[in-house]
């Protein structure tokens, strides 16, 4: 935690953006979400489409985010 606080003293720290909105932009199918009961339940994508979660996180890092929240 000390390293994070030190970093905040030095510069602006950029956090990631809206996970849900970015997942929605991937045009995932109902099956990708795990069926109709899990549509838009991003937590379920950890089981059904972990690659989609990784893609969004990677896109945040690619544009310079320092921190990825989970």
Q: Determine the pLDDT at residue 2.
A: 75
d(C-alpha 69, C-alpha 42), whole Å? 14
Show me where the domains of the chain are located.
17-62
pTM of the model: 0.84
d(C-alpha 29, C-alpha 47), whole Å? 15
Q: Determine the pLDDT at residue 9.
A: 94
Q: Determine the pLDDT at residue 58.
A: 97
Q: Determine the pLDDT at residue 70.
A: 73
Average pLDDT per consecutive 10 residues, the chain (70 residues; last block may be shorter)? 87 94 94 96 96 97 92
């Amino acid at each position: 935690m000390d390293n994070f606080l030190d970093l905040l003293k030095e510069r602006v720290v950029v956090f990631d953006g809206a996970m849900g909105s970015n997942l929605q932009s991937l045009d995932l199918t109902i099956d990708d979400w795990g069926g109709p009961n899990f549509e838009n339940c991003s937590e379920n994508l950890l089981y059904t489409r972990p690659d989609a979660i990784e893609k969004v996180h990677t896109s945040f890092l690619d544009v310079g985010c320092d921190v990825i929240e989970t």
